[in-house]
Structure 1
Amino acid sequence: MSERPKIAQKSPYPVEVSAGKAYFWCSCGQSSKQPFCDGSHKDTGFTPVKYEADSDKTVFFCGCKATGKVPLCDGGHNKL
């Protein structure tokens, strides 16, 4: 895919997640509900990425869309 995602922000989104709940991370960067999908990827090659929490905790969803640990931040924004 040659299309590149939009950088939503150059830092992660800390989110309190709940065990057993599914979250759909925006992979295109266009969503107005970052870091989650709002359907803005329609008519693109992007699809949301499902994340299911295994426990109640804080996770850091990638905001720059350049992570190698999709959908979580791996610090890739430090190289942008």
Structure 2
Amino acid sequence: MCKDAIVFHNKPKGVTLEAGVTYMICACGRSKEGIFCDGSHEVTECLPKEVTVEKTKQYHICMCKTSNNFPFCDGTHSIYNDDEVGKAVKI
């Protein structure tokens, strides 16, 4: 987890990832869509998470940016309420 990250959303987002394709997942919480890196991390010390999956299917992507299994959701988002979206992550 990056200390400069912000909570993009307090619920995960389902997205289909294709097997063998390398994705850059937003770890800073500042990208426009919150899932894929768009370079918005450049004002932070955060770096996107590179991920390649072995099976094409829908994955639940962590949108709070604090999952212990990042970029995949592990339920950590439950520590954030709606008022904390857009604010600094809890480290």
The question of a shared fold, defined as TM-score above 0.5 by the shorter chain, is answered with yes
- Pair 53,76 (structure 1): closer, same or farther in 2 beyond 3 Å: same
- 2:42 is equivalent to residue 42 of structure 1: yes
Q: Runs of 4+ in structure 1 displaced over 2 angstroms?
A: 1-4
- 2:10 is equivalent to residue 10 of structure 1: yes
The TM-score normalised by the length of structure 2 is 0.80
Alignment partners' CA distance in 2, 1:34 and 1:76: 16
Say what the alpha-carbon RMSD is for the aligned residues. 1.7
Alignment partners' CA distance in 2, 1:40 and 1:61: 18
1:2 CA displacement: 8.0
- Pair 30,46 (structure 1): closer, same or farther in 2 beyond 3 Å: same
Match of 1:79 in 2: 79
- 2:49 is equivalent to residue 53 of structure 1: no
More helix by share: 2
Structure 1 unaligned residues grouped into runs of 5+? none
Aligned-residue sequence identity (percent) comes to 34
Alignment partners' CA distance in 1, 2:78 and 2:33: 23
Alignment partners' CA distance in 2, 1:2 and 1:52: 20
Structure 2 unaligned residues grouped into runs of 5+? 81-91
Which whole-Å deviations, capped at 9, do the CAs of 1:25-61 have from their partners, x for residues lacking one? Answer: 1010000032110000113110000110101111111
Match of 2:85 in 1: none
Match of 2:64 in 1: 64
Count of aligned pairs: 80
1:14 CA displacement: 0.3
The TM-score normalised by the length of structure 1 is 0.91
